[in-house]
Amino acid sequence: MINRTVSLGGAVGQVIGMADYRDLDPYAGVATPGVTIGEREFWGRGHGSDALRLLVGHLFGAYSLSRLELDTWSGNERAVRAFTRLGFHEEGRRRSAGKRDNAARRGAGQPGPGGTSQR
Ligand SMILES: CC(C)(COP(=O)(O)OP(=O)(O)OC[C@H]1O[C@@H](n2cnc3c(N)ncnc32)[C@H](O)[C@@H]1OP(=O)(O)O)[C@@H](O)C(=O)NCCC(=O)NCCS
């Protein structure tokens, strides 16, 4: 398993979040990307989608992957919309997962011409 994390910059020298991946398994061809914008004032400005798009492109470009997976709370509409726009789609929901009643979003994709995943 290989895990990596990078910081996302806002204004010069300002860290507003991070993008990472974990559970990279080149033999199974899967990895789990993740992105978090920690500063609320920067939510909804496209930074999360931009970072995830770059990360997805990097993962498909650097490794022989056939699939990326990620989970989020189903009520996190901002995350769901950002992930869906990048080609992730729901495969199932876990019930009674954690404190919230349901949680799960999973994506799969193949690299497209622009390096993003497609459904
Ligand atoms: C989830 C997260 C990574 C998304 O990144 P972001 O930069 O805020 O999102 P983007 O601006 O790239 O895209 C947000 C999408 O949600 C939509 N959106 C924005 N505010 C919204 C709201 N209040 N409710 C529903 N949708 C909303 C936007 O219109 C956009 O969708 P569109 O491209 O179809 O128009 C970021 O908000 C974040 O880190 N949030 C806090 C932590 C978190 O929730 N992490 C998810 C862990 S899985």
What are φ and ψ of residue 45, in 5° steps?
-110, 10
pLDDT in tens, 19-76: 999 999 999 999 999 999 998 999 999 999 999 999 999 999 999 999 999 999 989 9
Distance 9 CA to ligand 1 centre (A): 17
Domain locations along the chain: 2-118
3-class DSSP state of 87: coil
pLDDT in tens, 67-94: 999 999 989 999 999 999 999 999 999 8
Whole-number pLDDT of residue 96: 76
pLDDT in tens, 106-119: 454 544 333 333 33
Whole-number pLDDT of residue 100: 54
Distance 49 CA to ligand 1 centre (A): 8
Whole-number pLDDT of residue 1: 43
Residue 12 has pLDDT above 90, yes or no: no
What residue owns the CA closest to ligand 1's atom 22? Answer: 78
CATH number of 2-118: 3.40.630.30
Q: Which of 68, 71, 78, 106 to mutate to test the pocket of ligand 1 (most atoms within 8 A of CB)?
A: 78
Cα angle value 21/100/6 (rounded, 5°): 20
Q: Give 10's pLDDT tier (boundaries 50, 70, 90).
A: low
How many angstroms from the chain centroid is the CA of residue 70?
6
Distance 27 CA to ligand 1 centre (A): 32
